[in-house]
Amino acid sequence: MALARALGIDSNPRTGGVEKGVAYVIFPDSGSGKPRWLYEINAAAQARFQKWGGLQMVWRSLNE
């Protein structure tokens, strides 16, 4: 719900969301087990996303 709000998408669990146009990537074992500031989470996620292949890998994954 927080991600939907951050993306400007209706976050209501019953009526919200979108049918297309949003992709997400999960990085297993990326948590530290401790609370972190949002800027730390964003920086770590951006670094892992780029190492994984970034948007090119997203497009490739969607077209397989």
Q: Please tell me which residue, 12 or 30, carries the higher pLDDT value.
A: 12
What pLDDT shows up at residue 9?
96
Write the pLDDT tens digit of every residue in 13-64: 999 999 998 888 899 988 889 999 999 999 999 999 999 999 999 989 888 8
User: Where exactly are the structural domains of the chain?
Assistant: 24-64
CA 13 to CA 11: how far, in whole Å?
6
CA 26 to CA 52: how far, in whole Å?
11
The yes-or-no verdict on residue 10 having pLDDT over 90 is: yes
3-state secondary structure at position 62: helix
Our CA dihedral for 8, 13, 19, 23, rounded to 10 degrees, sits at 60
What pLDDT shows up at residue 62?
84
